[in-house]
């Protein structure tokens, strides 16, 4: 199964780590893309979100900027991304 969640972030970003820890807790598989290590990933994040903040969460095509738990929970539920 391909990863359906991508976290665009950076090591210094506390909200990026919060999002990844939350996904780990819920059993949501994700791919972490460090935008500082790969400029192409930074461009992808900006192209998807239309802004420069991180984290940018691509949840099976639904883009969420920041650690917005209600939006994250809604996307997980709607897309069936958490382990049962």
Res 1 pLDDT > 60: no
Q: What is the CATH number of domain 5-79?
A: 3.40.30.10
Residues forming a β-bridge with 31: 6
Residue 48 structure tokens: 């998807």
pTM of the complete model: 0.94
Mean pLDDT for the chain? 94
pLDDT for 3: 65
Of residues 2 and 50, more confidently modeled:
50
Three-class SS of residue 39?
helix
The Cα–Cα gap between 38 and 75 comes to 26
């Amino acid at each position: 199964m391909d990863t359906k969640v991508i976290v665009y972030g950076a090591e210094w970003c506390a909200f990026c780590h919060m999002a990844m820890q939350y996904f780990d807790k819920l059993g949501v598989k994700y791919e972490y893309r460090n935008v500082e290590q790969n400029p192409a990933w930074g461009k992808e994040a900006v192209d998807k979100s239309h802004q420069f903040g991180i984290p940018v969460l691509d949840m099976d095509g639904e883009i969420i900027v920041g650690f917005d738990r209600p939006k994250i929970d809604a996307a997980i539920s709607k897309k069936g991304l958490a382990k049962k």
